[in-house]
Amino acid sequence: MKITEIIKIAAASIKWRRGRSLIATCGIAIAVAAAVAIPSIIDSAMKDWERLVEYRFPNPNMFTVALGMRFGGSMGGGFSFYSYPVFTRDDIDVIRNMDGIKAVYPELNAVPFVKRDVKIVFAPLVFSIMPHETFDMLIPSDWLLKGSIEENAVILEYEAAIFIFNSTDIVGKNFTIVMEGNEIPLNVGAVLKKVKPPSFGSMSNLNLRVYIPMEIIPGYEHIDAFGSLIVVSDNETDKARDRVVAFLKDRLRERKVELMGLEVWGMTLKDEKEMVGSLMSGSEGILYVIAGFSLIIGTVVIAVVALSVIYEELHGITVMRVMGANRRDLFLYVMFIATWIGVLGIIIGLVFSLAASYLLVTAFQLGAFMLPNLNRVVTAVLLSLAVSALAGIYPAYRVSRMDPAMVLSRVE
């Protein structure tokens, strides 16, 4: 028989027993989805996370210190699990004078997001509170600084500049915001260009970030304690982090601060990247288990479907053999049934995985949607095809070795 004819009959057989075929197809589809879609969702989130980390650590010698587990600092708006204001101005002064420490900047985590009644209409606007001098250090080299920084000068990110002034040629222009009832005149010191801040979930409003000097925040002088610190060290960042963390632990112990089971943490760029990496590899491991499990289910169901083909179509297969179908024809017939199921499962799995990952990524703002990694898609497709073929081999072999006389005597 021609291969195309065998394929057509195999397709008709799958359609005929569509219930079981669908179950087997689902097994493969789940495996493909697990192997392709979920990692792709995590990839999207992780890539965005990595970009966020890079964004928040524009200086590789920078690290953040906080109480309890936390991610990042004010550069990215940060999201702290715990950030009780326990570090004092005295602590900061001591750290500033430590060997290898270049600068320390407190973060006002108590007022990271300010509700305001603004004269210029843009809301919600996120303010990240930062002293002037951090700009030189924290702004990546490709960020373009224009003009001089004057009193009450602020730095607007590109999108914020466009949003407020509909232009980026705004250095030196004045505008006013109203915050906590106070009118604060501001001057545009610089516009940050070529920046593509990440859109990590709720952090997507980073696009409208305006950096303003801490000193102009009303009541700043009355703040005595800070929840987290941004520290810039020399090249030996790990050692500097350890020294700062040890010092702060001692200070808190001396002051008998109730830490409620928390500890002082220091987090460098390297630490965060390692954490992201371990989360990625951990989640990948789980996903491979899911994918493997689904593939096993898919294999078993395909094998069952292929075996059921033998028993349900015994009459037909027998007559094909009696009428002169050779072993190759019958072997291929069952193999095509198995691989058809695999191919259908792969197609459904890929379509489903793309749709699901797109919907999940956009619905939960897990970052920019990323197409699945091609290597992973190819691996999943090849593996699923191999599994389908493997599941079909035994039933196909059984059929091809069938003695027609024996089967006729059994079924007649």
Chain contacts with other proteins (rule: CB under 8 A): 1-2, 5, 9, 12-13, 15-17, 313, 315-316, 318-320, 322-326, 329, 404-405, 408-409, 411-412
For residue 168, how many other CB atoms are within 10 A of its CB? 17
Nearer to other proteins, 121 or 323 (CB): 323
Whose CA is closest to 301, among 344, 352, 353, 350? 344
Nearer to other proteins, 17 or 47 (CB): 17
State in angstroms the smallest separation of the CB of 298 from other proteins. 22
Instruction: Identify each DSSP E strand in 25-114 by its residue range.
Output: 62-67, 70-71, 79-80, 87-88, 101-107
State in angstroms the smallest separation of the CB of 357 from other proteins. 36
State in angstroms the smallest separation of the CB of 383 from other proteins. 29
Tokens of 152: 């009450």
Paired with 177 in beta bridges are 184
State in angstroms the smallest separation of the CB of 301 from other proteins. 19
Nearer to other proteins, 296 or 411 (CB): 411
β-pair type (127-129, 70-71): unpaired
State in angstroms the smallest separation of the CB of 46 from other proteins. 47
Q: Residue 228 and residue 75: Cα distance in Å, rounded? A: 12
Nearer to other proteins, 16 or 364 (CB): 16
State in angstroms the smallest separation of the CB of 321 from other proteins. 9
Q: How far is CA 296 from CA 17, 28, 323, 346, 384, in A?
A: 21, 9, 36, 15, 10
Q: What is the per-residue DSSP string for 196-249?
A: -----GGGGGGGG-EEE-GGGSTTGGG--EESEEEEEE-S-HHHHHHHHHHHHH
Nearer to other proteins, 103 or 325 (CB): 325
Nearer to other proteins, 177 or 309 (CB): 309
Residues 82/66, Cβ–Cβ less than 8 Å: yes
